[in-house]
Amino acid sequence: IVFSTLVFGPACGFLLGSLCTKFYVDFVFIDTSKLDITSDDPRWIGAWWGGFLLCGALLFFSSLFMFGFPQTLSDREKDRDGGGESEQAMLPSTSLPLDYTEMPKSSNGVGRNNHEPINGPTCFQQLRVIPKVTKHLLSNPVFTCITLAACMEIGVVAGFAAFLGKYLEQQFNLTTSSANQLLGMTAIPCACLGIFLGGLLVKKLNLSALGAIRMAMLVNLISTACYVSFLFLGCDTGPVAGVTVAYGNETLRVGEKPEVPCMSNCNCYTSSVSPVCGSNGVTYLSSCFAGCTT
């Protein structure tokens, strides 16, 4: 349940991004009523910085409450029982650092802390342990396989979340605001529901570690099949002058180039693309190509 609630953060982020992109990027400094473009125009740039400022302010003010905590938190069990063994004392003796030795009694007869550190390990000594610990972890096949599986899953989710908005914009002709709103209301809550149901099934079916792995493999196979289906979903690509159709919305014949001789005198830039839609339903690479007549 706790892990599934973490997904609500990206959901709120997509919804907040959808709200911010409805405002022009410089709406604070200019009069947006004088703009001749709307959020549906491809030249529109939303206020992408709004979410960072709002979330940063919330994080800053919420962190102020951390100053209300004491420097150290008392152990409730120790305060209630009047004492008890600490977690360090319950560990086997071999787990204690080598620099921790039994200290002799002081001159007044009061015994010192048996595990008082004499000299802590230096930074170089701590760095020398890292290769040994890393080798020990990588020699564990279960840990290595689980780590690789988690990295692959995070890689898929990261790419999916980063480019799904652009995919929806291009395939279904949605605006940036609408794509982010759709993601925040559908994809992210469904991921949260999947995490919650996965944990619930493992608990109700009382699955062992092997059973949980088999269920995860089955679910991942179904997810992969759904990812492949995205290759066949989407709207047909509209006519693009100079790419799929000739200028004048004429169908290209086999082997025919889409250029028109009269376009050579317009000196339109081809290094950058700023597509515009003409009244005839044809998309032009830029307004220069759309308005060129000589």
pLDDT of residue 251: 56
136-145, 181-190, 243-252, 266-275: which range is least confident on average?
243-252
Q: Express each pLDDT in 53-92 by its tens digit.
A: 998 999 899 989 888 888 777 766 555 555 444 444 433 4
Q: Reply yes or no on whether the pLDDT at 189 is more than 60.
A: yes
Return the percentage of the chain with pLDDT > 70, whole number: 71
pLDDT of residue 234: 65
CA distance 201 to 197: 6
25-29, 96-100, 196-200, 213-217: which range is least confident on average?
96-100
Give the type of residue at 172: F
- Let me know the angle formed at the C-alpha of 286 by 280 and 287, rounded to the nearest 5 degrees: 65
Reduced to 3 states, what is the DSSP secondary structure of residue 283?
strand
Residue 219 structure tokens: 């679910």
Q: Reply yes or no on whether the pLDDT at 208 is more than 90.
A: no
Q: Choose among 178, 165, 167: nearest CA to 39.
A: 178
pLDDT of residue 293: 62
Model pTM score:
0.48
pLDDT of residue 120: 63
Residue 11 structure tokens: 């959901």
Question: Which sequence spans correspond to the domains of the chain?
Answer: 2-65+139-232, 236-294
CA distance 100 to 119: 8
pLDDT of residue 238: 72
Could you tell me whether strands 283-284 and 276-277 are parallel, antiparallel, or unpaired per DSSP bridges?
antiparallel
Q: Reply yes or no on whether the pLDDT at 162 is more than 50.
A: yes
Q: Reply yes or no on whether the pLDDT at 198 is more than 80.
A: yes
84-98, 191-205, 261-275: which range is least confident on average?
84-98
CA distance 274 to 259: 18
11-20, 133-142, 171-180, 230-239: which range is least confident on average?
230-239
pLDDT of residue 119: 61
Q: Express each pLDDT in 105-126 by its tens digit.
A: 444 544 445 445 556 667 777 7
Q: Reply yes or no on whether the pLDDT at 146 is more than 90.
A: no
Q: Express each pLDDT in 85-106 by its tens digit.
A: 444 443 344 444 444 444 444 4
pLDDT bin (cut points 50, 70, 90) of residue 264 is low
Q: Choose among 253, 247, 251, 256: nearest CA to 283.
A: 247
